[in-house]
């Protein structure tokens, strides 16, 4: 596989952009706060991006989700990089693949709580392109002016990890010459109260893989990366997508397969595609939600598949579980370790689950890596593993 990552940016409660995220990780500074979502009294912690409220000029595209996508696209050099690609190839040869689990359901919630006197949608909420599962890609295409192929993936929490796999295939088959991949999800009542009904939310800051973990914290984020075929890029990060694995075990709507069959398959597929053995992987950013079942199953798989020399961590205690944006957020943290030589620890980890035995620690560390991996496991058994390597 010869796919290079030429630019990337992240926007979450842990940092408005990549530089801010790096500082939060290094300073061990979490973006989680006590739940202050309007009209919700659930006792939990959330990762809220306060700057979203400043984006209120999207007109017919207005929604919290689209506002966060716009906020993310304004960070770093993304727009400049995209402009160069459009000039080089033409806007129809640049593709868009977005991941999301809620799209703009936040706007739909608002619309139905603000009906007119006849019980109909008010004019400002008659937004067919916003009340739409495909809204993230439709909006990003509008915002960037890209008119190549556009696809929105919704496979729950693996959505914006799978965008890399789809983008890579588009490039390999010559469908496009560059791909903007990304993910965006925002906090809304449907998500927060839905997870609460599943008894998955914690009243405390989450503690992935800890013996005393008692649930997850939800957050919101947007993230983007730009992919090109290696050798065709003008700008370089020195990172390539070396492998990916996808699986769907369909064991249960919300519970992972008890033996982790799908998760195992996605990891082994990624290794096979990259032509690497498990002992070549120096760091794994785990899905690590802080739920009892997910952490136990993933931890047991890691112990079974990888040697103790492989360093692992979960970074969800910095920004919460950002659902459809978790894949891209954690992919960015993972690939960035290749550039910064900084491996974040597992914040809030005090005592490792007594059923687990693999290399994970709370403290961050410095290490030069050649190959790194990240896992994203979603409801319904939708799994994706990404493997990034330094360009030789």
Q: What is the pLDDT along the chain (392 residues), one digit of tens a residue?
A: 589 999 999 999 999 999 999 999 999 999 999 999 999 999 999 999 999 999 999 999 999 999 999 999 999 999 999 999 999 999 999 999 999 999 999 999 999 999 999 999 999 999 999 999 999 999 999 999 999 999 999 999 999 999 999 999 999 999 999 999 999 999 999 999 999 999 999 999 999 999 999 999 999 999 999 999 988 877 678 999 999 999 998 877 777 778 878 899 999 999 999 999 999 999 999 999 999 999 999 999 999 999 999 999 999 999 999 999 999 999 999 999 999 999 999 999 999 999 999 999 899 999 999 999 999 998 878 999 999 999 97
Claim: this prediction has a pTM higher than 0.95: yes
Active-site residue identified among 188, 257, 321, 384: 321
CA angle 142, 334, 231 (to 5 degrees): 65
Residues 381, 230 contacting (CB under 8 angstroms): no
3-state SS record for the chain: CCEEEEEEEEEECCECCHHHHHHHHHCCCCCCEECCCCCCCCCCEEECCHHHHHCCCCHHHCCHHHHHHHHHHCCCCHHHHHHHHHHHHCHHHEEEEEECCCCCHHHHHHHHCCCCCCCCCCHHHCCCCCCCCCHHHHHHHHHHCCCCCEEEECECECHHHHHHHHHHHHHHCCCCCEEEEEEEECCCHHHHHHHHHCCCECCCCCCCCECCCCCECEECEEEEEEEEECCCCCCCCCEEEEEEEEEECCCCCCCCCCCCHHHHHHHHHHHHHHCCCHHHCCEEECCCCCCHHHHHHHHHHHHHHCCCCCEEECCHHHHCECHHHHHHHHHHHHHHHHHHCEECCCCCCCCECCCCCCCECCCCEECCCCEEEEEEEEHHHEEEEEEEEECC
384 is catalytic: no
pLDDT of residue 235: 67
pLDDT of residue 258: 80
* Confidence at residue 239, expressed as pLDDT on a 0 to 100 scale: 97
Active site residue 206: no
Residue 233 confidence (pLDDT): 74
Q: What CATH number labels 3-390?
A: 3.40.47.10
- CA–chain centroid gap for 15, Å, is 14
pLDDT (0 to 100) of residue 306: 98
Which residues sit opposite 178 in a β-bridge? 94, 228
Alpha carbon 276 to chain centroid distance?
A: 24
- Residue 305, number of CB atoms within 10 A of its CB: 18
The reported pLDDT for the residue numbered 380 is: 79
Q: Closest Cα to residue 140, out of 206, 232, 222?
A: 222
* Annotation marks residue 287 as catalytic: yes
Q: Which one of the listed residues 11, 188, 206, 287 is annotated catalytic?
A: 287
In the chain, domain spans: 3-390
- Tell me what pLDDT residue 37 has: 95
**The predicted structure's pLDDT at residue 234:** 73
């Amino acid at each position: 596989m010869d796919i290079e990552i030429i630019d990337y940016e992240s926007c979450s409660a842990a940092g408005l952009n990549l530089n801010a995220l790096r500082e939060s990780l290094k300073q061990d500074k979490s973006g989680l706060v006590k739940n202050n979502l309007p009209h919700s009294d659930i006792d939990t912690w959330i990762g809220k991006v306060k700057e979203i409220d400043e984006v209120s000029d999207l007109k017919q595209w207005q929604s919290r989700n689209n506002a966060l996508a716009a906020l993310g696209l304004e960070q770093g050099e993304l727009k400049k990089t995209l402009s160069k690609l459009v000039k080089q190839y033409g806007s129809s040869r640049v593709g868009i693949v977005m991941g999301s689990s809620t799209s703009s359901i936040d706007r739909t919630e608002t619309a139905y709580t603000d009906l007119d006197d006849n019980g109909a949608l008010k004019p400002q909420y008659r937004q067919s392109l916003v009340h739409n599962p495909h809204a993230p890609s439709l909006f990003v295409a509008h915002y960037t002016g890209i008119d190549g192929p556009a696809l929105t993936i919704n496979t729950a929490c693996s959505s914006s990890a799978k965008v890399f796999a789809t983008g890579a295939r588009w490039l390999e088959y010559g469908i496009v010459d560059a791909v903007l991949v990304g993910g965006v999800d925002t906090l809304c009542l449907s998500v927060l109260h839905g997870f609460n009904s599943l008894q998955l939310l914690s009243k405390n800051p989450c503690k992935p893989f800890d013996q005393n973990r008692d649930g997850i914290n939800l957050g919101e984020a947007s993230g983007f990366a730009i992919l090109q075929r290696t050798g065709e890029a003008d700008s370089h990060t020195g990172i390539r997508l070396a492998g990916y694995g996808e699986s769907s075990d369909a064991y249960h709507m919300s519970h992972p397969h008890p033996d982790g069959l799908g998760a195992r398959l996605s990891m082994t597929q990624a290794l096979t595609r990259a032509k690497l053995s498990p002992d070549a992987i120096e760091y794994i950013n785990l899905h690590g939600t802080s739920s009892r079942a997910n952490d136990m199953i993933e931890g047991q798989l890691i112990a079974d598949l990888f040697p103790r020399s492989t360093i692992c961590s979960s970074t969800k205690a910095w920004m919460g579980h950002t659902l459809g944006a978790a894949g891209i957020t954690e992919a960015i943290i993972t690939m960035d370790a290749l550039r910064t030589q900084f491996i974040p620890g597992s914040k809030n980890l005090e005592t490792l689950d007594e059923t687990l035995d693999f290399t994970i620690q709370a403290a961050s560390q410095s290490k030069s890596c050649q190959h790194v991996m990240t896992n994203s496991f979603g409801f319904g058994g939708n799994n994706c593993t990404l493997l990034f390597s330094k360009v030789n």
